[in-house]
Structure 1
């Protein structure tokens, strides 16, 4: 993940610093590769759609739990 210090301001005008975090390109590529590996192999294509969904759902939920933060929403939406 990328971590950046950023200046923010409250509605009352008080300035404070916060950390912005978002998904790196390398992590995004890794996620895509796992999904492609699962779905593209010829010997796995005979499995039903439901079996693929059952296998992918926990992985996708885990990635979302780990990477999803306020500033990573655009990158995660792109993956969706």
Structure 2
């Protein structure tokens, strides 16, 4: 693989032609509902947002790594 500047911009469609791909692949990352779901939003001491200011393609592995890092940070600083 080359440097990140070669891959971070979205240039083309993800697949060459629709006739080659009959079905859509499943997403690798899902919506995670963990922890105390019945508590109110204002009761939690910390909120984490992942925001991108540019139009770029982010891999599902990078999103999963960010989710794990956020969970570890919250568990370390806010408690279990």
TM-score (norm. length: structure 2): 0.33
Higher strand share: 1
Q: Answer 1 or 2: higher relative contact order, Cα 8 Å, separation at least 6.
A: 2
Higher helix share: 1
